[in-house]
Amino acid sequence: MTKDLRRDFYYGKNILLTGGSSGIGLALARQLVARGANVWLAARDRVKLESACRELRAAAPDPAQSIGSAAADVAVESQARSAAEQAAQELGPLDLLINNAGTSHPGYFLGMEAKIFRETMDTNYFGTLNMTRAVVPEMVRRGKGHIVMVSSAAAYLPIFGYSSYAPAKCAVRGLSDALRSELKPLGIRMTIAMPPDTDTPSLEREKKIRPRELDIISSTSSVYPPEAVARDILSGVERNRYIVITGFEMNLFYWLTNLLGPFQYPVIDLIVADAIRKVKSAESKKPARV
């Protein structure tokens, strides 16, 4: 361990990270461990969690670092609370909670079953709410702590095909905004990350089922590596930034949607109309079935 590591902002910090077994969550865990943090992962897949922990322990620069996990579905309040209690028992008082667990299921509104909307809301919103409620009381008692909400670009730019996902991420943003003003006087800081499409296993699964119009719309923007998104989130926390958005183009979209106000909707309508036209054109060129 080098002297520089001891001066790192994250060195010795106790961190609970949900959805940490893959994608952005695993990228965050790798970077936190490399910077000397004690990290506790919570996710549903026990096998992936154990694999992630083995990797993180092998890469830890300080043998004194604590790294562990709890298999938990954060959408279930009792499991979220149990994971938070385990993290505090093993690591000590938590300095940072990163609510990263989430799921997406794009599709046509008329073609999705009601359970998809409920499951998406349960994981993205209630999972975030459950874990935050489990951790905040102790942070308030100590008068310090930091909570990260990982929302999505869909929270400020809801688009065709995300009628189950966008509302859930908008709810996360609403919760974050409300807590920011309520918890700040109590010494708790908040950060909300709204990442764009990110090269993760979740995105690969999503591509197999999402509407073709969404594919066309999404193709106009970049897909970012999870490592870049993770770096931006950790930098944002370190600098005490509230909003973290990755990429110049996504920052531009964020400011444009705010500046345009209601005038954003005709622009979105044009983009969607173009995508629909392209899908119909492609379908008309398919050879007729005999």
Domains of the chain from N-terminus onward: 3-284 (3.40.50.720)
Active site residues: 151, 165, 169
User: Given this model, what pLDDT does residue 3 score?
Assistant: 58
- Residue-wise pLDDT for 241-289, tens only, equals 999 999 999 999 899 988 888 888 888 889 889 999 998 888 887 775 5
- Residue-wise pLDDT for 155-179, tens only, equals 999 999 999 999 999 999 999 999 9
Mean pLDDT calculated for residue range 141-150? 98
User: Given this model, what pLDDT does residue 220 score?
Assistant: 83
pLDDT at 71 over 90: yes
User: Given this model, what pLDDT does residue 229 score?
Assistant: 98
The radius of gyration computed from the CA coordinates of the chain, to the nearest angstrom, equals 20
User: Given this model, what pLDDT does residue 57 score?
Assistant: 97
pLDDT at 113 over 80: yes
Start-to-end CA span in the chain (Å): 70
Q: For residues 17 and 96, what is the distance between their CA atoms, to the nearest angstrom?
A: 8
pLDDT averaged over the chain? 94
Structure tokens, 194:
């709204």
Task: Specify the pTM.
Answer: 0.93
Mean pLDDT calculated for residue range 77-83? 98
- Residue-wise pLDDT for 18-50, tens only, equals 999 999 999 999 999 999 999 999 999 999 999
Mean pLDDT calculated for residue range 111-130? 97
- Residue-wise pLDDT for 195-237, tens only, equals 999 999 999 999 999 999 999 999 888 999 999 999 999 999 9
User: Given this model, what pLDDT does residue 262 score?
Assistant: 87
Q: For residues 207 and 197, what is the distance between their CA atoms, to the nearest angstrom?
A: 11
User: Given this model, what pLDDT does residue 288 score?
Assistant: 59
Alpha helices in the chain (DSSP H): 3-6, 23-34, 46-59, 77-91, 114-121, 127-142, 165-183, 201-207, 212-218, 226-238, 248-260, 264-284
